[in-house]
Every structure is written in structure tokens, then in C-alpha cells.
A and B are shown apart, each in its own frame.
Chain A
Amino acid sequence: MTYKTDLPVMLPVTPREAEPFLRLSLWHAIPIAAVCIVGPSLAFAADGIAILSPLAVLANWAPLLLKGFVFNLVISISAMGLGTAAGAMLGLGQISPNRAMRGSSWFVTQFFRNAPWLVLLFFAMFLLPFEISILGLKIPFPDWFKAILGLSLPVMANVSEIVRGAVNSLPSGQWEAAESLAYTRRQTLWLIILPQCVKRMLPPWMNLYAILTMATVLASIVGVSEVMTLTGRALSAEGGRPELLAPFYGFVLLLFFAYCYPIARFTVRLEKKFSVIT
């Protein structure tokens, strides 16, 4: 039985596929950033006053900001390196047959994993001396170095969990086969277990790196001359013109996006690849 109607409420309901409210992708980010950066210049050009347009100001400062960004990358890579080395050891501690070792590694891991990164950064900043003297030799501890140490603490804790999780995700049959072939525990770990874990650890490790890179701007709060600090200085050197805010911070966003997005894409690719193989 059907009858004609113009009333939409009377029409049969065809369920539509739920669509995300906003479908944003990489290709939307570029025009959005472009509007942020260029938009104010256009508005400004219409006024036609004879001082530099925001875009021209940004162009003047861009080399310095880029240098600042490179410093962020140096901080992120160093903190990642240090944190990974320490975290790998801590992670191995978490799977140690020694109970005390396991317990203390677990505690340290949980402690630093559940601490705000900024608080850890402040701790590193204000608890570490500005220099240490070994045998009369004074080694300075500059702020950026303390920032690296401070940021490497949460990295360490997260890497520790990544290692533990990867080792535990292997079937116990791998340990048993190795045991029954008279491998020592150490050999089992290094020849059989860990080589299989590398693949599983890589995607979460890269994720962590992207998060760390974005977190390096926290160092601006403790006075390290990274990109956010320099942006702030540039803006105040330009007299705090409000129309400069969007282009300048838009530029910083674009830098981080251009660096972190490919890492995220690559991580997803790896995850897919490995989930098919294993």
C-alpha cells in the first residue's frame, strides 16, 4: 500500500551513512593555513598604508623562525635518543626475572608515564644545577640541555611500556621453544624475542616521537630559544601588531604540520603492513 505525499515526514526513511561533521584532510590544511597567513595581508593591503604588510614582515622573520624550529627538532631528536636508550633499559628491567628489578622498573615507568610533561620539564629546569664541576673542570648545563633531559623522562617511561608490551605480545611458545633448545635467558631475549619485537615497537615509537616533537614548544615556557619563544620575541619587536598574530602562529603551525603529518602517515602505513604480516 503506497500513497502520494509531499510531506517529508511521511516519506520512508532511508538511513544515511553517518558522515563526520567535518571531513578534514591534509589538503584542507593547506588552504586553511594559507588563509591564516595571507588573509590579514589582504585586508591590510586594502587599507593601503605605507608600512610593511604582515606577509612581508613574516618573510623578514621567517629565516629566524626556521632556525628556531630546527632547534625544536634538535631537542626532539636528542630527547628521543636519550629517552629511548634509557627506556629500553627500563623496559628490559620490567621483564627481568629478578623481582626487585621488575618492581622498581615498573614503578619508575608508571611514575614518569603519569606525570605531566610540563611539570617534569620544570623539575629538570630548576633541580639541575646550571653547571657541574668534575675534577675542577666546569661543565655548563645550558637551559636547552636541561630541557632535553626533562623531555626525555616521559619518553623513557613510554618507551619502557612499548618494550614491555611488545615482549609480552609474543606468544609464550617462542620462549618455551628457546628454553627447550637450551638457550640462556639472555640469548633468548636478544636472539629470538627482541628481533621480533622491533617491528611491533616501531609504529608506537614513531607516534611517540611525533608527540614529543609537538611537545618541544613547552620548552618556551622555561625560556629556551625555540620557535615559540622566537615567535613571541619577533612579535613584540614588531610592536605587538595584532594582525601579525595569525600569520606568525599560522606559520609555526604549518612548520609542525609539515614535519609531523608525514610521520603520522608513515606510521599508519607501517601498522597496516605489519598487521598483515604478523
Chain B
Amino acid sequence: MSWSPSEPMVSIKDVHKSFGDLKVLNGVSLDVMKGDVICIIGPSGSGKSTLIRCVNALNDIQQGSILVEGQEVNDLHLNKLELRKKVGMVFQQYNLFPHKTALQNVMMAPVRVLKHDKVEAEATARALLKKVRLEGKEAAFPGELSGGQQQRVAIARSLAMQPDVMLFDEVTAALDPETVGEVLQTIKDLAEDGMTCILVTHEMGFAREIADHVYFTDRGVIVEHGPPETFFKDAKDPRTREFLSQIL
């Protein structure tokens, strides 16, 4: 397993996935280079979540290949824990641990999983909370924070594991409109720092601004993709056009 940064950090090739009889992914391929930000858009139920959940092996696939830094994910002997240390994930519903404070949420995995020193982990966690603009909220429990604040804690929690790539699954979809901006800003900061990001999103303006490449999925296939300038201006496929006209 020798991976060099000139190769794709995440390489998805002809991935098929079904839940029972339901075919959800029908041969999806895409590459993500180090430092790239890609956005996946598409109608609800088209398999976007399933696709990115396959990248950190939350879902397994039946056919095809997913390489993360050269490591094959579609492998019975895969060390899932090692893979997940490299791949961070943020969910639509935040999924913070409600019985832990914001600070504990962020520092727990580094201490328990990576066996980092507690004092150092706490310092790192405080710095991360500051970075996502939540200084002063360290002792707050998730239930005491707004949706936007919780989502930023979730981002900090993921970053604390020092991942090489981050997956975002519609992370602003459950938020009140007034807190969407602060979360998008946090992701933008991250992207500017050079973090490799795979985003599923319905925020077209944001995708246009931040993405290096946009993918449109429908019924388990990638219908069309391209750099945001051309993708949003002159989409070729009628399905893409219809979707964009409904959303924009």
C-alpha cells in the first residue's frame, strides 16, 4: 500500500450497493484529490448519503472498489478503525453525545481512541472549539446549544481526530435558516486550510462558491459532473437542468 499525494486521496470505482432488493448505487465512480472540495447534489433518495457512508465503511458495498489513500475499503479484512481515523464524518442530525459537554465531546475520541495525553488533548480541543467560534461554550451540554452551535461542535469533534478527509452529509439541512451561515463559514474556513472535503449539500450557492467539482446523482448513478462554473451555467442533461431549475 504505497500511496502518494499525486494519486487520488479517495478513489471510487464502479460502486454498486443495494439494500435487499433495492438497488441504491448502480456503478458510481469519482476521484477526490488531496485538498479538493467536491460537492454531491441530487434529489432525495438518489443515494448520496449511502455513497459517502461507504467511504468510511458505515455501509459496505457489494461490488466495485473504494480506495482511501490507497487502502481498499471493499475488503473483508479491512481494519475499519484505522480507516475511520483517517476519515471524519459530520451528520445531518449532529449526533453529539448528549451526556458529555462540548469540550468532552471533542476531546474524548483523541483520548480514548488515539490514546493521546489528556492535557494535550484538552488543549487541542479548546483550540478547535475556538476555531469553530465556540469559545466560552466548552462546558455547555449539547442540549443547551443551538443547532448551528451543535453542528460546529460536531465538526470540531471530527477534526480532533486529525482526519485526512472529511465527509459532510447535508450538515445544514436540519438547521434554522439563521444558523446555516455560521456552519457554512466553518466549512469554508476548513476548505481554505486545505482540508479534503466531500460534501452532500442542497446549498447551491455554497457549492458554487466552494467546490472544485460538482457531481449530480440521480437513482444511484452520476448523471453529470463538472467544475461549478460550467456545471451550474450550462448543464447538458435534462435531469440536471430540471433539478437545478427547481432548486435555484
Contacts and interface: CB of A to CB of B under 8 A. Distances in A.
Interface of A: 171, 173-174, 176-184, 187, 191-192, 195-196, 277-278
Interface residues of B, number: 26
Nearest to B167: A180
Nearest to B110: A181
Nearest to B89: A180
B109 A181 contact: yes
B138 to A, nearest CB: 19
Nearest to B86: A182
B91 interface: yes
Nearest to A183: B113
Contacts of A195: 99
Nearest to B93: A173
Contacts of B113: 181-183, 187
B84 A179 contact: yes
Contact of A182 (B84, B95, B98, B99): B84
B97 A176 contact: no
Interface string B84-96: 1101110101011
A120 to B, nearest CB: 36
5 contacts: A173-B91, A176-B95, A182-B80, A182-B81, A182-B82
Contact of B91 (A177, A183, A191, A278): A177
A191 B93 contact: no
A174 B58 contact: no
Nearest to B108: A191
A174 B91 CA distance: 11
Contacts of B97: 174, 177-178, 192, 196
Interface of B: 56, 58, 80-82, 84-85, 87-89, 91, 93, 95-99, 108-109, 112-113, 143, 154, 157-158, 161
A174 B81 contact: no
Most buried by A among B58, B80, B112: B112
Contacts of B154: 177
Given A173-B93, A181-B158, A196 B99 contact: yes
A182 B85 contact: yes
Top 6 closest A-B pairs, CB basis? A177-B95, A173-B95, A182-B84, A180-B89, A181-B109, A182-B81
Given A182-B109, A187-B113, A195-B99, A176 B158 contact: no
A174 B154 CA distance: 12
A274 to B, nearest CB: 12
A98 B130 CA distance: 42
A110 B85 CA distance: 40
Given A176-B95, A177-B97, A183-B113, 7 more contacts: A173-B93, A180-B58, A180-B89, A181-B84, A191-B112, A195-B99, A196-B98
Nearest to A195: B99
A184 B81 contact: yes
A103 to B, nearest CB: 22
A105 B109 CA distance: 31
Contacts of B85: 182
Given A174-B97, A187-B112, A191-B112, A181 B161 contact: yes
Contacts of B88: 180
Nearest to A277: B143
Contacts of A184: 81
Contacts of B56: 180
A154 B128 CA distance: 50
A277 B113 CA distance: 29
Nearest to A197: B99
A91 to B, nearest CB: 19
Contacts of A183: 109, 112-113
B109 A179 contact: no
B191 to A, nearest CB: 20
A4 to B, nearest CB: 61
Nearest to A181: B109
A178 B105 CA distance: 11
Nearest to A174: B95
Contacts of A191: 108, 112
B89 to A, nearest CB: 4
Given A176-B58, A187-B112, A181 B91 contact: no
A87 B230 CA distance: 62
Interface centre among A171, A176, A181, A196 (most CB of B within 10 A): A181
Nearest to B96: A177
A180 B108 contact: no
